Chains A and B, each alone.
Chain A
Amino acid sequence: MSKLLIKNGKAVDPSAGMNKNFDILIENGIIKKLSKSISRISKTTKVIDAKNCIVTPGLIDVHTHLRDPGYEDKEDIFSGTAAAAKGGFTTIMCMPNTDPVLDNVSGIRYVFDKSSKAPVKVFPVGAISKKLEGKELAEIGRMAQEGIKAISDDGQCIQSSILMRNAVEYIKMFNLVLIEHAEDTALSGDGQINEGYISTKLGLPGIPSLSESFIVARDILLSEYFDTPIHFAHISSRKSLELIKNAKKRKVKVTCEVTPHHLIFNEEYLQTFDPNFKMKPPLGSESDRKALESSFKDGTIDILATDHAPHRIDEKEREFSLAPFGVVGLETALSAMISFFINTKKMTWLELVERMSVKPAEIFGLEGGSLLEGAPADITIINPSGKWVVTEDNLVGKSKNSPFLNMELTGTVKFTIANGQVVYGQI
Chain B
Amino acid sequence: MTVKEKIIRHLITMDDLTNEEIMTIIEEAKSFKEVLTRDIKKVPALRGKTVVLLFFESSTRTKISFELAAKRLSADVVNFSASTSSLKKSESLKDTVRTIEAMAADIFVMRHSYPGSTQLVAKYIKGSVLNGGDGAHSHPTQALLDMYTIYEKKKRFKDLKVAIIGDIKHSRVVRSDIEGLTRMGANVVLCGPSTLLPRYIEQFNVGVTYNVEEAIKDADVVMGLRIQFERQEQGLFPSVLEYSQFFQINRPRLKKAKPDVLLMHPGPINRGVELESEVADSVYSVIDEQVTNGVAVRMSLLYFLAGGKDEQVTD
- Spell out A's residues near B (CB within 8 Å): 195-197, 199-204, 206, 272-273, 314, 317-322
Contact = CB atoms under 8 A, between A and B. Distances in A.
B229 interface: no
Contact of A197 (B88, B115, B135, B200): B200
Contact of B135 (A195, A206, A314, A321): A321
Nearest to A208: B199
A272 B118 CA distance: 11
Given A203-B138, A321-B114, A321-B116, 15 more contacts: A199-B198, A201-B204, A202-B115, A203-B115, A203-B134, A203-B172, A204-B115, A204-B116, A204-B137, A206-B198, A318-B92, A318-B93, A319-B114, A319-B116, A320-B115
Task: Choose among B92, B93, B94, B115 the residue with the greatest number of A CB atoms under 10 Å from its CB.
Answer: B115
B3 to A, nearest CB: 30
Contacts of A322: 88, 114
Enumerate the 3 nearest inter-chain pairs by beta-carbon distance, A residue then B residue, closest first: A203-B136, A273-B116, A203-B137
Contact of B119 (A200, A273, A321): A273
Contacts of A314: 92, 94
Nearest to A197: B200
A318 B138 CA distance: 19
B120 A320 contact: yes
Nearest to B175: A203
Given A195-B199, A200-B198, A202-B137, A317 B92 contact: yes
B282 interface: no
A201 B201 CA distance: 8
B112 interface: yes
Contacts of B37: none
A41 B135 CA distance: 69
B119 A272 contact: yes
B250 interface: no
Contacts of B134: 203
Contacts of A319: 87, 93, 112, 114, 116-117, 120
Nearest to A192: B115
Interface in B80-97: 87-88, 92-94
Contacts of A273: 115-116, 119-120
A317 to B, nearest CB: 6
Interface in B91-144: 92-94, 112, 114-117, 119-120, 134-138
A38 to B, nearest CB: 56
A71 to B, nearest CB: 18
A192 to B, nearest CB: 8
Interface of B: 87-88, 92-94, 112, 114-117, 119-120, 134-138, 172, 175, 198-201, 203-204
A319 B135 CA distance: 11
Nearest to B198: A200
A320 B94 contact: no
15 contacts: A196-B199, A200-B199, A200-B201, A204-B116, A204-B136, A204-B137, A206-B199, A272-B119, A273-B115, A317-B94, A319-B87, A319-B116, A319-B117, A321-B115, A321-B116
Contacts of B117: 319-320
B2 to A, nearest CB: 33
A160 B199 CA distance: 28
A203 B199 CA distance: 11
Given A196-B199, A196-B200, A197-B203, A202 B116 contact: yes
A204 B135 contact: yes
A318 B198 CA distance: 26
A320 B114 contact: yes
B196 to A, nearest CB: 12
A206 B170 CA distance: 12
Point out which of B137, B138, B198 has the most chain A C-beta atoms below 10 A from its C-beta. B198
Most-contacted residue by chain A among B87, B200, B201 (CB, 10 A): B200
A390 B296 CA distance: 48
Given A195-B199, A319-B114, A319-B116, A201 B92 contact: no
Nearest to B56: A319
A197 B135 CA distance: 17
A197 B203 CA distance: 8
Contact of A200 (B92, B120, B138, B200): B200
Contacts of B172: 203
A203 B12 CA distance: 13
Name, among B114, B120, B134, B172, the residue most crowded by chain A CB atoms within 10 Å (CB to CB): B114
A195 B117 CA distance: 20
B110 to A, nearest CB: 11
A201 B174 CA distance: 11
A285 to B, nearest CB: 10
Contacts of A320: 114-117, 120
A206 B199 CA distance: 9
B199 to A, nearest CB: 6
Contacts of A318: 92-93
A60 to B, nearest CB: 37
Contacts of A196: 199-200
Contacts of A202: 115-116, 137
B205 to A, nearest CB: 12
Nearest to A315: B92
A72 to B, nearest CB: 21
Contacts of B199: 195-196, 200, 206
B261 to A, nearest CB: 28
Contacts of B92: 314, 317-318
Contact of B175 (A195, A201, A321): A201
B235 to A, nearest CB: 11
B140 to A, nearest CB: 13
A282 to B, nearest CB: 14
A206 B198 CA distance: 9
B129 to A, nearest CB: 14
B154 to A, nearest CB: 27
Nearest to A274: B116
Contacts of B119: 272-273
Nearest to B200: A197
A96 B222 CA distance: 54
A319 B113 CA distance: 10
A220 B138 CA distance: 41
